Structure 1
Amino acid sequence: MTDNIQYHEHLIPLTREQLLNKLDNALSAGRFAHVQRVEKVAMDMAKRFGADVEAASIAGLCHDYAKQRPDEDFIAVIKQKKLDPELLNYGNAIWHGVVGAEMVKDELGVQSEDILDAIRQHTVGGTYMTKLAQIIYMADYIEPARDFEGVDRARELCQSNLGAAVAYQTKHTLEYLIENNQPVYPQTLLTYNAWVPQYRKDL
């Protein structure tokens, strides 16, 4: 079914086949398989929650486009585009989403801010997230190869309560960072405050 999806030029100037070829060249075999799994989950969720299925396909495939780029590529983009200099204190885990969206825009021709925001926010969330952004955030977290304590509950929430699912992931991501003495990107804390208290009865 996904092979027949037609992309509209206002979203991306590539066919799905052209996009897959570019991703295949940019990613390892394992990462390439991951983005295709995320695409499928995202499209299913878009149908369930009434989001744009075509945009979900593109965002699902492109969310990790920059994941395997060298650090200097990200640093160059942060400086050239005058992005928040605070980003320089972090690394690929943050950069491949927040900065990677700029590469998706410039190198793959994606102009849709909805898609770009979903890519920007898939690692750190946002105080406001469109339905598409929520879907990509969750599809990446629950795709079939994910296997960690709590993933079944996340999948369950993704069937019926998207906002609670976002809150659940955000809470567990923050707990993980704290337990492992990792730095917390400030946006992650803002995302936590915006989503977790609001859905605390559903978690």
Structure 2
Amino acid sequence: MKIEEALEESKKVLNSKRFEHVERVTDTAFDLAERFQGNQQQVGLAAALHDYAKDMELSILKDWIIAHHDISKDLLAYHHELWHGPVGAKMAEKLFLIKDDTIQNAIYWHTTGRKGMTKTEKIVFLADYIEPGRDFPAVYQAREIAKEGLNQACHYALTNSIHFLMSRQQPIYPATFQAYNDFTKRLLK
């Protein structure tokens, strides 16, 4: 699948505001891939499809989670905002025949992160966090850190996401803590 085709598929199912976000994430991901020597094709496809399932009915997302053994059922115990990544990854495989684990994982983990993220996963995760349409206090510092280091910027984004969720007494998906710990250990070496 070509990146332009993936963007067109996302455009078909997303509202215009969300699709504009997807375009900005894709552009940001290309910039990060160039800066950090990432695979442009993998990054582009994952970014173009990262929110493919975002505007779908919660009942549809839940049905996909229940129906597919390789989507963690523990997601159902957490906020539904986390559901679209794993379901989108599965839809990329089933609907668009994207069998590349790197692309699927970048879509799957773009919201939560995980321990042992690949370069492509980090780039899509960070692009989603820092794309130019985002406007919250931590994003400006994250953009500056992203100019210097991919791991440092992902760590910063995870740290701020955890702080944000804790300040609102929201449950935090375990993979996010594992990603934070993984980046912390890498940066301390």
> Structure 1-normalised TM-score?
0.87
1:28-53 Cα offsets, whole Å, 9 max, x none, are 00001110111111011111111111
Q: Does 1:155 align with 2:143?
A: yes
Alignment of 1:118-133 (within 5 A): 118-133=106-121
Q: In structure 2, which of residues 10, 24, 31 is the aligned counterpart of residue 44 of structure 1?
A: 31
Identity of aligned residues (%): 35
Verify the 8 A CA contact 2:106 2:120 in the aligned structure 1. yes
Q: Cα RMSD between the aligned structures?
A: 1.6
Verify the 8 A CA contact 1:170 1:196 in the aligned structure 2. no
Count of matched residue pairs: 188
Cα 1:108–1:91 change in 2 (3 A) is farther
Verify the 8 A CA contact 2:49 2:88 in the aligned structure 1. no
Rounded Cα–Cα distance in structure 2 between residues aligned with 1:20 and 1:150? 28
Q: Does 1:95 align with 2:49?
A: no
Verify the 8 A CA contact 1:39 1:61 in the aligned structure 2. yes
1:54-87 Cα offsets, whole Å, 9 max, x none, are 2111111111011011111121112211232212
Q: Structure 1 stretch 80-89 or stretch 167-176: which is displaced more?
A: 80-89
1:117-155 Cα offsets, whole Å, 9 max, x none, are 111111111110111110001001111111111212111
> Structure 2-normalised TM-score?
0.93
Which residue identity lines up with residue 51 of structure 2 in the other structure? Answer: D
Alignment match, 2:178: 190
Listed as ranges, the gaps of 5+ residues in structure 1 are 1-11
Shift of 1:19: 2.5
Which residue identity lines up with residue 185 of structure 1 in the other structure? Answer: Y
Shift of 1:16: 3.6
Which residue identity lines up with residue 120 of structure 2 in the other structure? Answer: L
Verify the 8 A CA contact 1:126 1:190 in the aligned structure 2. yes
